[in-house]
Structure 1
Amino acid sequence: MTEADGKRWRERPEGSNWGDFGPDDQIGRLNLVTPERRRAAAAEVREGLAFCLSLPLDCPRVQINPRRFPPEMSFSMRGDDPAMNYPYGRMFPGQKDVVCDDRALLSLQYSTQWDSLCHMGFLYDGDGTGEAEATYYNGYRAHDHVHGPFDYLHDREPKDGPYGAARLGIETLAETGLQARGVMIDLFAHVGLEAERIGYDRLMRILEADKVEVEEGDVLCFRTGFDRALLAQYEDVSVEVDPHRCSGLDGFDDRLLQWITDSGAVALVSDNEAVECMPDFKRETPHGSRVPLHNHCLFKLGIPLGEMFLLSDLADWLRANGRSRFLFTAPPLRLPGAVGSPVTGVGTV
């Protein structure tokens, strides 16, 4: 099917919201962050205190994901000269200004990061032809809208660039400002730094115990304590970090997924590596997903996922002050075509 038909799909996935925000929507549930919801978020600022919600961009110090690499810092050049501590007097005799310019080679999802809505797709038959195609939120397709060098399904010849996301790129999230009311859900306070799968029942008990209320338009922030484990290793590389030793949401719990749908949450954020429990790639859903929370949020509902945020400092302050809500501000880089982005988030109370 082509976009000339007026639709990229004939039947949307079960449990999805494709089309609810318009046939060409690219920001999903962030549409629910209305001016009214932003005013409610701003009303949470009472003390005027700001908390950084991002790890250093080169954290973790020891690489834990083999596909993602820490930043490689370098300097810009002025002709043959490195532009670090560069005196302009070399170009203009008598001038006393000194300048530094640098550059970095980044893996966009190494440290604190956002997943765009095209970070994770699914093989889906949206045309009803009996042939599944690599498809992303709201029916956007591989090769038509998200361009890579290979067509893995049809074994076609490699394509020349440009590569990247012509639709659903991270810039679509950046353009919203990505500011809303944040709600802290402190898993660490209840289970510690342990590999516990948090399903619906456990989560409901935690919300009830901490008197946490979730409303449509909120960003849900799940603190597991893994951020401080990463920072401990950042300070001392001899400290061992097990990425599986922390809690996470149990994406295989259908009632939890339905709660996420019903909650009206516009984004899920965690200080662990995947928001959901790190996949063992042994279990899968009846539909064939081994990362079911990513599938549910990114592919079906258009809910962006924020990973490896720095949440513990803010979580401790909120708990000490009997609060759970705050102003959440964390736009990604406005980098057209990217499928993920580092972020420097701020939580304001």
Structure 2
Amino acid sequence: MLASPLKTLLTAATLAAAAWGHAEQPAVGTSPWGPEDEIGRLNLMTPASRAELLSRVTGGEVYDLSVDLFIGMPSWQAAGDPHYRMWMTHTPHGTVVDDPLGLGETMNEHVSYTGAAFSMYTHTGTHIDTLAHFGLDGRIWNGFSAAEHLGDRGWQIAGAEALPPIVARGVMIDLPAFLGVDMLPEGHRVTRAELRGALERQGVAMKQGDVVLIRTGRMQVYEDAAAYMHNPPGLGLDAARFLVETGGAMVVGADNLSFEAFPSEVEGNYVPVHTYLLAEQGTPILELVYLEGLSEAGIYEFAFIGGGLRLRGADAAPMRPIALPLAPADER
């Protein structure tokens, strides 16, 4: 049975969803940082913001916010994208038999050689969505068009190589802790009221330029791909608006895949949260972020440090972010 606060908030979410169906037709956003901008709200990072943040790092435990990649892991399959695969290209015994470098049996038996290769969809594991990932009516953030800027080798603008390393204040919003559940129920659509309530419980306020990460508790079943991927909870559109327009988030993310709740609450758009964040607001999205360690330690504010692989022209990039605890601002 759902906790009473969750029942109340679910009712509010249903009413809000009906209202969004009548919203005016959305369009891609025009960047306030100029016509060439391809990184959106990541422009909120400055040398001063990084310096101030790093001055508060305590030097304590480092929290790894990434997940393991392994054969059989959870991944997005609804659109037919490839599973994660890894295979051995060289093994000690195989090298003795094949002698690929022409070194001879004696050398190959003395010096063992192991090598591997892997392949995967760019949105596999902990990753960051670029602003090219979703668009509206043939255009992405800042009006760049697929017709003009997308070739056979990827996007010529707003690809993963354009995203700078992220060094910013991180805020984790622990929804299961607020709602008194182990993890959010299947299909649960996160609301603005839930985010507000969790922030108040944690005693943390969002600030402009934050990396805001939502814990749903889904990572507790990450090792079971079928359970992890089955009807996951996710954000509603009003909750996403709260993070950006009220909270000032620079980047948003969560421990689920694929961030928003399904089915869509907006007629005519099957991913309204993605298009709102990426195409309209220029806000990158992080998915499959591991937040269990931060939750167990009760750490809600931290230095977020991470950079995606510079995959030229790609719509997403794998990332291994970390979280470093911070001293309170008045204790520096």
- TM > 0.5 between the two? yes
Aligned-residue offset at 1:201: 2.2
**Aligned counterparts, 1:32-43, within 5 A:** 32-43=44-55
The equivalent residue for 1:219 is 211
Aligned partner of residue 135 in structure 1, secondary structure:
coil
Check whether the contact 1:111–1:342 (CA below 8 A) recurs between aligned residues.
Answer: yes
**Structure 2 residue matching 1:222: 3-state secondary structure:** strand
Which residue is equivalent to 1:202? 194
For 1:164, the equivalent position in structure 2 comes to 154
Relative to structure 1, the CA distance from residue 63 to residue 201 in structure 2 (aligned partners, 3 Å threshold; closer, same or farther) is: closer
Residues 18-167 of structure 1 aligned to structure 2 (within 5 Å): 18-58=30-70, 61=73, 65-66=77-78, 67-76=80-89, 90=103, 96-123=110-137, 134-147=138-151, 162-167=152-157
1:247-262 maps to which residues of 2 (within 5 A)? 248-251=234-237, 253=238, 256-257=240-241, 259-262=243-246
Q: Distance in 2 between matches of 1:85 and 1:182?
A: 50
Aligned equivalents of 1:225, 1:84: Cα separation in 2 = 48
- CA distance 1:83–1:293, change in 2 (3 Å): farther
Residue pair 1:268, 1:275 contacting (<8 A) in 2 also: no
> Equivalent residue of 1:144, what SS?
helix
Deviation string 1:244-268 (CA, Å, 9 cap, x unpaired) is 243x2211x2x75155124221100
More helix by share: 2
Asked whether the equivalents of residues 83 and 102 of structure 1 are also in contact (C-alpha less than 8 Å), the reply is no
Which residue number corresponds to residue 3 of structure 1? none
Separation of aligned partners in 1, 2:63 and 2:72: 20
Q: Do the aligned residues in 2 keep the contact of 1:222 with 1:269 (CA within 8 Å)?
A: yes
Structure 1's 90 and 257: CA in aligned 2 closer, same or farther, altered over 3 A?
Answer: same
Shift of 1:89: 7.5
Please give the secondary structure, in 2, of the residue aligned with 1:36.
helix
Identity %: 27
Q: Does 1:274 align with 2:264?
A: no
Stretches of structure 2 lacking an aligned partner (at least 5 in a row): 1-24, 326-332
Aligned-CA RMSD value: 3.0
String of CA shifts for 1:145-172, please: whole Å, max 9, x gaps: 123xxxxxxxxxxxxxx33111110111
For the 8 Å contact 1:249–1:276, the answer to whether it is kept is yes
Residue 46 to residue 210, structure 1, CA distance change in 2 (3 Å): same
Where does the alignment leave 5 or more consecutive residues of structure 1 unmatched?
Answer: 1-12, 124-133, 148-161
- Which amino acid counterpart does residue 314 of structure 1 have in structure 2? L
C-alpha separation in 2, matches of 1:71 and 1:330: 22
- CA gap of 1:51–1:18, structure 2 versus 1, over 3 A, is same
Aligned in 2, Cα 1:291/1:83: closer, same or farther, shift over 3 Å?
Answer: farther
CA distance in 2, matches of 1:62, 1:259: 26
Aligned residues: 293
- How far is the alpha carbon of 1:340 from its aligned partner? 1.2
Question: Given that residues 75 and 82 in structure 1 are in contact (C-alpha distance below 8 angstroms), is that contact kept between their aligned partners in structure 2?
Answer: no
Q: CA deviation at 1:84?
A: 11
